[in-house]
Structure 1
Amino acid sequence: MLALASLSGAADAAWARGGAPFADLALLGGLALDSEAREAARGLIARGREEFLPDDPLSFADDELAALADAPIRPGLNVRSTAAGPIREAAATCARHDAVLEINAHCRQSELCAVGCGEALLRDTDRLARYVAAAAETGTTVSVKVRTEVDGVDLPATARRVADAGADIVHVDAMDSEPVVADVAAAAPEAFVLANNGVRDRTTAWEYLAYGADGVSVGRPSDDPAILRRVARAVDDWDRRAEGPSAPARNDGGVRE
């Protein structure tokens, strides 16, 4: 699988359509859901970052997901919240659109961490597990976006905990600790592991797949067709390699039409 990772203030339906010829999943967002997370997002905007800050985040999500109903790519929504209730409501919205709900336990901006969002959740696994369980109750596919290199966090143990709570996908930003992907995959074998950070070509995609990732995601260059084409072909070639030498090549060379 090739996924497009969320980009604050940029990953909307139009962005997802641009990547649809190449990728299988597009994670829109990140979207701040509750008042505390939204206030933190305002702080990010004040210092020049792009953020989605619609008046009604759930209506915005509903509209963006609906706009992809006929697109050849599965949508998802990356969200931030300081409470489980808004997570559950966003997950219900995703369920109506057969979309993935991704809980953001990844962002490291100080404004978000100060209110308990982003990577702060990696240090509060009880709360993160409650968020996952609340989302899973709706029946939608649940992803958790995490990162390596957070002091005091045992990421494989966290992956095990969120998988037990109902997470279907663990989306790992490997930073400069790529081998941790293997540890996450081993700790939560029933979860689908997406690996992220620096994925640009066959070499970088295959490194993560060799560590046991089930798929990779592209972040900042997700609007660059040349990079997406290279990575899509790399993922497709890896899948054919795993299936054996007799597996037929896809006519599109790994690029979805």
Structure 2
Amino acid sequence: MFSPRVALASLSGEADADWARAVADHVGCAFLGGIALDEATRGAARAMTDRDRSEFLPEDPTAFVDTQLGALAEAPLRGAFNVRSATPGPIERVAAVCRDHGAVVELNAHCRQAEMCAAGAGETLLRDRDALSRQVRAAADTGAAVSVKVRAEVDGVDLPELAQRIEAAGADAVHVDAMDSESVVADIAEATDLFVIANNGVRGRATATEYFEYGADAVSVGRASDDPEVLGAVRETAGDWVAGEATP
């Protein structure tokens, strides 16, 4: 899906093309966003900014995605966009834009902010597998590569089973915020053929190696995504791991 097998994880209201280009030599993919697409999630994002959360709120979200991905056209990485929506229509439109840029559209079933969950997006989708599957199908039917960002340690949610559902709906990748349950990465990797991106606490060789040992295909870096030293160490680890896999 991308190489080197290190991604930048989206940081709401901060992860734009400039952020990605600044460290592009260290990573294979950058998940821009997240961005709210429909009226319900845009209303939630506006409420979140009222309590000092950082959010992207352009007048035209689809045009914003197009412009931001276009700004990565010459960067040595694969673009991706993390999106939030309670309805599939806007996802379909943005997925088509991602497809045209050779980018990944990532459906956010991860955000746990109360406003976004009340709007029917983010973590709420982990408990509504049918709605999440509809979103995956809407995106996949455009021909775009589709990732789903999920969170571990949500009561009542079986992530390996959920991963099987989204794979059947047409997803290509699952981006797992492992929280404090790193072994869930192994459970998902064993349950599906999805490209598994492991996230949470990746700060260097030791943490990256742990996720690769659990079966991750790639790792992503969030809060340390602007630290070239961290990214360099993680990239070196990913390269060593892939080279070891290829050795007879």
Given the two structures, how large is their TM-score scaled by the length of structure 1? 0.94
Residue matched to 1:254: none
- Equivalent position to 1:82, from 70, 86, 93: 86
Partner amino acid for 1:43?
A
RMSD: 0.8
Paired residues of 1:145 and 1:170 also in contact (CA < 8 A):
yes
1:24 counterpart (18, 22, 28): 28
Q: How many residues align?
A: 244
Give the counterpart letter for 1:98 in structure 2: G
Matched, 1:234 2:242: no
C-alpha deviation, 1:18, in angstroms: 1.2
| Offset at residue 199 of structure 1 (A) | 0.4
Q: CA deviation digits over 1:187-220, x for unaligned, max 9?
A: 11x2100000000111100101101110100011
Aligned to 2:205: 202
Q: 1:145, 1:171 within 8 Å by CA — same for their partners in 2?
A: yes
> Runs of 5+ in structure 1 lacking a partner?
246-257
* TM-score normalised per structure 2: 0.97
CA distance in 1, matches of 2:52, 2:43: 15
Indicate which of 51, 63, 69 corresponds to 1:65.
69
User: What corresponds to 2:114 in structure 1?
Assistant: 110
Deviation at 1:181, TM superposition (A): 0.5
Residue 211 (1) aligns with residue 205 (2): no
Q: Secondary structure at the match of 1:238?
A: helix
Structure 2: gaps (5+ residues):
none
Deviation at 1:48, TM superposition (A): 0.6
Question: Hey, what does 1:248 align to over in structure 2?
Answer: none
SS for the counterpart of 2:212 is helix
Residues 1:191 and 2:194 aligned together: yes
Partner residue in 2 for 1:167 = 171
Aligned residues of 1:122 and 1:153 also touching (Cα < 8 A): yes
Shift of 1:241: 1.9
Deviation at 1:240, TM superposition (A): 1.7
Cα distance in 2 between the residues matched to 1:232 and 1:172: 19
Structure 2 residue 133 is the aligned partner of structure 1 residue 129: yes
| Cα offset, 1:243, TM superposition | 2.2
Q: Aligned partner of 1:209: which letter?
A: F
4+ runs of 1 displaced by more than 3 Å?
Answer: none
Can you list the C-alpha shifts for 1:107-141, whole angstroms capped at 9, x where unaligned?
10101001111110000000000000000011010
SS at the partner of 1:3? strand
Contact kept? 1:4, 1:19, Cα under 8 Å:
no
Sequence identity (%): 60
Deviation at residue 145 of structure 1 after TM alignment? 0.2
* Residue identity in the other structure for 1:13: A
* Contact 1:9 1:52 (C-alpha < 8 Å) held by counterparts: yes
Output one character per residue of 1:73-123: Cα deviation in whole Å (capped at 9) or x when no partner: 110000000101011011001011011000000010101001111110000
The C-alpha deviation readout for 1:128-169, integer Å capped at 9, x for no partner, is 000000000110100000010000101110000000100000
